[in-house]
Every structure is written in C-alpha cells, then in structure tokens.
Amino acid sequence: MRKKYLPIGVFDSGAGGITVLKACVDVLPNENFIYYGDTKNSPYGNLSDQEITELTFYAADKLVSMGVKSVVIACNTATAAAINALRAKHNEIRIIGIEPAIKPACLAVDGKVLVLLTQAASRQAKFRDLVEKYGLEKVIVYPLQDLAQKIEQNIQDFSKLKPYIFDVLKPYQNGDIEAVVLGCTHYIFVKDIIAQVFPDALLFDGNVGLAKNLKNVLSKSDLLNDQNQKGFVEFYSSDPKYQIIYQELWDKIHK
C-alpha cells in the first residue's frame, strides 16, 4: 500500500481529542483515521512531565505500530510536555501537535483574554513562550485541576457539569473578559456552558488550526489521500470499554 493511503493516528489522554478528530475529518474527509484515547490514565493535567512523556510515547508507539502515516497529538498537555522529544524519536513520520489559540484570541480583542487549561500545560515553557509572544499584558492564565476529569466522568451527559463550571469560573465572571481560550480539548465538549458564563466574550480553540496545519503538512509531503470516497474512523482505548463510548460520542458530534 502506498503511504498516502495509510491512516492518520489521533491521540488524546481520553475523549477530548474526539473534538480534534471532528475538525480533522471536516477538513480532510477522504482520509482514514485511527483514534486512541488513554482514558485509563486520564487526566494528564495532574501528572508529572515524566509521566506525561512516557504515556505519550507509549500511545504514539502504539499508533505507529498500527501503520499510520502521521500522528496528531490532540492534547494540549501532551503536546506541550512531550512533542519535541516525540518528534526526535519518530522522525520518520509527521507529528502534529495542538496548542492553545492564544495568538488569534489576542489579535481579535483589545481587552483581557482568559486562558483555561490544565495545571501541567500551564507550567510548560512552550506555553509560557506563547503567552510572552502574543499577550503577556492581556492574558490571564487559569489552570483548572478537575474539569477534564469531570468531563470524562460525565461523558454521557455534560449538562450535569453546569453548576460546577459556573462555580469554578465565578472569580472571572465579571472581570471584563473579552475572549476565552479553551486550552484543553476536553473543554470543547462544554463550550456552550462556558459561553453562558461569558456571554459577551469570544471563544477560541485550536482544533481547526491544527486540522488545517495537518492538511498543509501532508500536502507538502505528497501524503494526502486522493481516494474519492469518505474515509473510515476506528476507535481504540487503553480502557477497552471506552471504545464503544468513544464511538457513541463520535456519532453524536459528527453529523
């Protein structure tokens, strides 16, 4: 099989990367995708950098062993902590990461930009460099310890999280926030609730930007799948029972 017809691997610490997968399928509908979620070890946001790197390496190795042509790290925490080392290890394939959409948010508004992300992502040099480059004076960094985990725990009904989200974001509800950056792909599942907390703010995430970057990288490498039919999507998890849950969640958001 020619390399361009091989699938693209998408990895996240759990279900959050399914939102990234949707963006990738929307931009690249003829590509085949394999999704791997590490729900058994989720969330990564409260782990050490060494643990995050080891788990990311394991997941990437698993996808590479399944014969993918590219790996998408659909996790802001894993990207910030491990992507450079991962690219050094797997220089034979294209590895694409995601990062908080700080640049477009800072360019879009003049006022304060609230960045919601995990604790592990907030301490990474890669993230700090983004803040210093695009919005040191206007960015408010707000690491959330439990939201990603609660989203995983309420994967069948995110509406149950509304009271918790309103409470945890209350300190900034009246803080003249003009933009909110969803710096964890899990948070996109509760985007509508966050928008209710900040009804006048613009919300940003990095999903579409990643998908467009993936398309550009594959195009430059002559790796775009030129088949005429829509591609397939397969789901795997470190916790086997979540494979069905991932599929059900995918069926809900991919219409």
Catalytic residues, by residue number, are 75, 184
User: Do residues 7 and 33 touch, judged by C-beta distance below 8 A?
Assistant: yes
For 71, the token pair is 């790996």
Question: For residue 95, what are the CA distances in angstroms to 22, 40, 89, 158?
Answer: 18, 23, 11, 31
- Give the CA radius of gyration of the chain: 18
Residues 6+ positions from 58 with CB-CB distance below 8 Å: none
User: Do residues 94 and 218 touch, judged by C-beta distance below 8 A?
Assistant: yes
